[in-house]
Amino acid sequence: MSKPSKNEFLDQLVGDLKPEASHLGAEARFMFWAVFSFCMVALAMEFNRPLSIEGYHQVETTHYFLEAVIAFLPFFSLGYLAFLYSVPGRGPSRKWLIVALVPLALYVLSTVFGVLFDRPLPEGAMIKGRFLCNVETLFVSLIPIVGLSYMVVRGYAYKKKLVALLIGLAGGSLPVALMHVYCANAPLHILMHHIGPMLLISTIGLFVIPFVISKYSKN
């Protein structure tokens, strides 16, 4: 089939024009996703097993509290970047990508140091942990991951693997952060049962999400 002439081609595009429903910018969509995901994941965890008062004793210690704060940052920083990378011309430079990854790196490193140097548990820590917190972390992370993937597919994500990595880490870090409070525990437990599932789901996402983007986006 021969290539259409310029006029025929433009006629086809104009003839296919449909008014777009009012759409939100990347920031508004990000806020919607962040609030929705936070509420849904917190509700799911609370419904599964309500927040135990025992965990508070550990969260009250300065180090653990700071870790909890840092744990929430990747959800916002990496999630926001995933939105930006789905808008042509707005994907930030590598420098900002590294900056956005710093909180996650800090959180993981702090936990690893806790394991290596055997950081003592404060009195009243929730040593037994939360029943099947690893499985819970894995499953509830699907809420932000599926939500973010859906929104990214509606945009124009060109760097599919990078976006998939950001979606996996951002979505996976929300339950990790909440679990830091809901299942306040020793560094080794956090590393194996909270961070481990997050890395697992991110790795799976790295293979699945690019395929989903290719199949369902309009690129």
Contact residues: other proteins, CB under 8 A: 3-4, 6, 9-10, 13-14, 16-21, 23, 25-26, 86-91, 154-156, 158, 218-219
Q: Which is nearer to other proteins, 3 or 215 (CB)?
A: 3
**Is the alpha carbon torsion for 50, 181, 52, 201 positive or negative?**
positive
Phi-psi region of 204 (alpha: psi -120 to 50; beta: other; left: phi over 0): alpha
Q: Which is nearer to other proteins, 11 or 54 (CB)?
A: 11
Q: How far is the CB of 10 from other proteins (least distance, A)?
A: 5
Q: Which is nearer to other proteins, 113 or 211 (CB)?
A: 211
Q: Which is nearer to other proteins, 203 or 219 (CB)?
A: 219
Q: How far is the CB of 218 from other proteins (least distance, A)?
A: 4
Q: How far is the CB of 28 from other proteins (least distance, A)?
A: 9
Query: Is there a contact between 203 and 172 (Cβ–Cβ < 8 Å)?
Result: no
Helices (H) and strands (E) in the chain, counts: 10, 0
Q: How far is the CB of 87 from other proteins (least distance, A)?
A: 6
SS3 content of the chain, % helix, strand, coil (to 5): 75, 0, 25
| 19, HSE (Cβ side, Cα atoms, 13 Å) | 2
